[in-house]
Chains A and B, each alone.
Chain A
Amino acid sequence: MNAKANTARITLIAGVALLFAAVSNGRAQENGPQHASDFTSTEYYEPPHQRQIKSVLSGAEALPQPGGQLIIKQLKLETFDLDGKLEITIMAPECIYDTFKGVANSPGHLQVHTGDGKFRVEGEGFLWRQSDQFLTISNNVRTVVENGATMNTKP
């Protein structure tokens, strides 16, 4: 699997890792993840582009749950290309991320759109499996492609 294809997975992992680190607020890590609010996790490209932002994961709230689960509210994930151009924005009012299974899911809304806004997909209920990079939108999938939407096929 190439690095570009793994953007979402890496970002989720990085984001969750950051959450676990950031919410500690100086406490020892053995205390486990704590509640966090208005958090932002920024991931950078690998050298030599280490100054370029690859993705920004933000949320209004992160609530650790038993069993390694994390409830993230007002999730927003943005990915950028090497030129700093916004590629994709993913938003969900709330989702549960299982840090052990590497699965994110929610019965709620999911919205995805490209940086230029010409492509949009949304639906109700989703499941994201990191292991095989498989996304399921369960209900009422609605996709809109504006005139002139293009496929950005170059990394």
Chain B
Amino acid sequence: MKRFSLVIIAVLAGLMGHAQTNTPGALPTPRAPTLINSESADFDLNGHQGIYRGHVRVDDPQMKLTCEHLIADMPQAGGRPNHIVAETNVVIDYTDDKGQTNHATGDKAVYVYSEQGGVTNETVTLTGNPQIENAQGTQAGDVIILDLANNKAHFDNPHMIFRQNLNGATTNTNSPVTVVKTTNFPPGTIQNIDKNISNHIDHPPF
């Protein structure tokens, strides 16, 4: 049963790990518990895998995730999980390091963690019509990679839809007159940003 517990803890630790990545040097502060609810769950002790199925909901103090299927793998030698897959109607709501709320969606989210030569690689890759919505608008791409270790987000084939107020100025406030452009060709839409422009955006959601 020890492996069983390790697998489950690994799932949780992995889901919570992002919250700790962006605060190097910060003193640990007490956190509320992380909860994972699902309709059912399988724990493969030989395969080092935990599988949550059906209305999976992760409630963490710094983010909430819902999906229909979540699989977590952990290394044979133990330690933190190196691979977590959330599938089907993936929704992640979180607050970034600027205090801004973000709403990320996609068909699939893959968390990968590795350490090589003292370098930590930790990413979440969103695919399947992925997008991140916040006060500025909606950022979308074919693939969105959240580089948790370096606090960046990478968008493949990015396109953005800005929120605009009635004066046409982009807003990042809670203006009551904010309008989301959802027409076929919204003036605030930018598609296929030139490849020469860096697709990296600082201050990713996690």
Report how far A148 CA is from B34 CA in the complex, Å.
11
A27 within 8 A of B: no
Least distance between B75 CB and chain A CB atoms (Å): 9
Q: Which A residues from 69 to 83 make CB contacts under 8 A with B?
A: 77, 79
Are B32 and A147 in contact, with the CB atoms below 8 A?
yes
Are B79 and A135 in contact, with the CB atoms below 8 A?
no
B13 within 8 A of A: yes
Are A147 and B30 in contact, with the CB atoms below 8 A?
yes
Report the nearest A residue to B75, measured CB to CB.
A153
A93 within 8 A of B: no
Are B37 and A133 in contact, with the CB atoms below 8 A?
no
Interface of B is mostly: mixed
A144 within 8 A of B: yes
Which residues in B have their C-beta under 8 angstroms from that of A112?
1, 4-5
Report how far A121 CA is from B79 CA in the complex, Å.
19
Report how far A22 CA is from B12 CA in the complex, Å.
40
Which residues in A have their C-beta under 8 angstroms from that of B35?
142-145
Which residues in B have their C-beta under 8 angstroms from that of A153?
6, 77-79
Report how far A144 CA is from B59 CA in the complex, Å.
10
Are B46 and A151 in contact, with the CB atoms below 8 A?
no
Are A88 and B2 in contact, with the CB atoms below 8 A?
yes
6 A-B residue pairings within 8 Å (CB atoms)? A87-B2, A133-B3, A141-B37, A141-B40, A145-B35, A151-B13
